[in-house]
Structures are given as structure tokens and as C-alpha cells.
Amino acid sequence: MECFLGLFDKTKYTNFADFDFSLIKERLDRIKVVKAEKTGEEKKNEALRKEVDAKPYRYCMYDGRMEKVSNYMVEPPGIFRGRGEHPAAGKLKSRIVPEFVQINIGQNNPIPICHVPGHSWKRVVEKKDATWLAVFRDERSTFGAGTKYVALAAESTVKGDNDRKKYEKARRLKKSIQTIRSNYMTKMKSTDMQDNQLGVCTYLIDQLALRVGNEKGEDEADTVGCCSLRVEHITCEEDNKVTLDFLGKDSMRYYNTIDVLPIVHQLLRKFTLAKKPEDDIFDAVTPGKLNDYLKESMEDLSAKVFRTYNASYCLQDELTKGSDKIDAEKTPLDEKIKFYNDCNRKVAILCNH
């Protein structure tokens, strides 16, 4: 709101109640009435026109194959909302112009025409090691607007291959998980503080499917992961219970009270002792150190693989538990869909989606 009001005389306008939005409302109401009065045939023809207009942008040639594109539309200018307690909420997003856009094409391919008169692309490149087709960000923005990518759809060959590799890593983790768990238990019993913190971090990532966490800039939301947890995010309670309360990815609040192993409870008390609320709990560990430690147990193992493994395990467990309620031949399709969605919801809760 502060950024929005900053465009006007602050001595006259102090909040949104000072503005008259009646003309905008009247226009939107008229558009709503026009849409409601359209016949079914008119709506169908309009949908077909949109389909025809969008078709050239929905597909691309990728390594000689026709592939579907995921997100080819650019958001219009407006007020940034964000999710959760994002520091940029209420600030203005300007219009994305071609000068903000980089295009990634093959060396011998024709450069896509810029249909905006008087404008041209920021850059046209050939990046063979990248899977994005275009990339842009709001360069006029006064806040840290995120970079947006135009990429292939989830059903594309490239995305499918990447997903297959991701789940194959999770399969390999399943074969090593008991050894890894034994290893981080040994770390927690060590006399070395860094070993203790590595052990507890890996335990939390394994048991709770937490993200590893990275440092954020001042203009970004105060989201954290395991390595960046602060003293204010955790409460050690009686009977080996621990409450975690923090903002995760996309400013989604993670709030969970769990039972932990006695040694984990003891070490968390030790890590937070005599520290201020804003101090890091795991001050001897960085995401890089944690991932280096994980790779000692399994090649290309990272915290992300734990999330994939735990999510897959959770879904399979839920499907198995409810399999006696579902008959492949007799159960109606809508009941099957509801059952699967219920199982998938448990995975979403686990991963804090």
C-alpha cells in the first residue's frame, strides 16, 4: 500500500478509503453483464478463437520434436500480492516489455518476431545446456521481483526424463536409507559440534521432509529451511516434543509439533542455549556443508532427494492402507479419484505445499 500511495500526494491521500473506485467497478460490472448475456454458441466460438490465437505459442520444436509449452502468458501489470508475509505485498508490478525478455533458440532458427511496435527483445541466445525457452523479470520494479521462465510443459519429454531421474535417485536412497540413518545417529553422538548439527539437520530433513534453506535478501520474504532455522522458530517442550513455526517456500507457514528422539531434543536445547531469538540454530552448518555430507553416503544425494523419497513413501503407504476399500472393477470412478486425492493431500501436508 505504501508504494501505491507513494504515487499520489500523501497529504491528501492516506489510505484506500480516500480513493473513488466507482468507475472501475461500473466498468467491471458491465463486462460481467455482457459475458452473462452471451449465448452458448457465442461462448463456444470465442473459446475456439482463443485456441487458434494461442496455438502458435503452445507448442515448440525442441530437439526436432514437437513439445508442449507450459506457461507462455505474461502477467499484466498490477499490485503484487505474493503469498504469506511477503515484504513486497502491495507494491506495483510494471508491464513486462520486450526489452526485459531473453529468447533461447537454436543457432539456425529464425528469431521470433516482436509484435510490439517500436520494441525489440533484450537478447537472443543459444543456450544448449538450458531447458527454458524465454526468461524475463520486471526490471522497473523497486523490489526484488523474481525471474520468470517460459518452459516446457510437465508432459514434455524433457520434464518426463528429469522426473524419471529424480525418482530413480529416490529409489537408490531407499536402498541406503538405513545406513544413512545410522550414520546421522553416530554424528549426533559425536563430541564435535558441527557433527552434532549435521546429524540433527539430516534427521529433521529425513523425518519432516524439510527443505535445506538458503539465505534471503532484505527485499525477499523471510522464508527459511532447515539450515536457516533461527531460535525464534523452535520451541523445545516437555516429553521430547518440539514445535516448529516458520515461513517456508512461497511464504507458506510451517507449524508442527512433533515427537523427536531424546538425543535430538537434548541437542536442540544445547544449540539454542544462550542465543538470541534472531540467532541461527545451526550456526556451524551451511546448505553446502550439509549436501557435501550427504554425498558421502550416496552419490548426488541432496536434501531434495529426501523430499522426493518421503513424499513417494507417504503416497505409497496411504494407497496401500486404503487399498482394501477400493475395488478396481466395482468402485465408481469418482470414489477412486476422491481416494487418490485424499492420499495426495497427506503428501501435500507432509511437504508443506
- Hey, what domains does the chain have and what are their CATH numbers? 56-150 (2.170.11.10), 158-351 (3.90.15.10)
The answer to whether 95 and 72 have CB atoms below 8 angstroms apart is: no
Average pLDDT over residues 118-143: 88
- pTM, whole model, 2 decimals? 0.70
Indicate the DSSP class of residue 248: -
Q: What local confidence, expressed as pLDDT, does residue 44 receive?
A: 92
The vertex-332 CA angle with 326 and 334, nearest 5°, equals: 100
pLDDT higher at 147 or 233: 233
The answer to whether 101 and 122 have CB atoms below 8 angstroms apart is: yes
C-alpha 274 chain-centroid distance: 34
Q: Which residue has the cell 548426488?
A: 300
Cβ partners under 8 Å of residue 157, min gap 6: 62, 65, 67
pLDDT confidence bin for 5, thresholds 50/70/90: very low
In terms of Cβ atoms closer than 10 Å to its own Cβ (0-12, 13-18, 19+), residue 1 is: exposed
Three-state DSSP state, 93 = strand
Q: What local confidence, expressed as pLDDT, does residue 196 receive?
A: 96
Hey, which bits of the chain come out as E strands? 59-62, 65-68, 78-79, 92-93, 101-104, 123-125, 134-136, 148-150, 234-236, 241-247, 253-259
Compute CA distances 245 → 72, 117, 236, 256, whole Å: 36, 50, 12, 7
Q: Give the bridge partners for 79, in sequence order.
A: 92
Q: What local confidence, expressed as pLDDT, does residue 158 receive?
A: 85
The answer to whether 244 and 254 have CB atoms below 8 angstroms apart is: yes
Res. 145: pLDDT tops 70: no
CB atoms within 10 A of CB 31: 10
Q: What are phi and psi for residue 78, nearest 5 degrees?
A: 175, -165
Res. 278: pLDDT tops 90: yes
pLDDT confidence bin for 20, thresholds 50/70/90: confident
- Residues of the chain with pLDDT > 70, as a percent, come to 92
**Rounded-to-integer distance, Cα 222 and Cα 219, Å:** 9
Q: What local confidence, expressed as pLDDT, does residue 84 receive?
A: 64
Q: What local confidence, expressed as pLDDT, does residue 12 receive?
A: 66
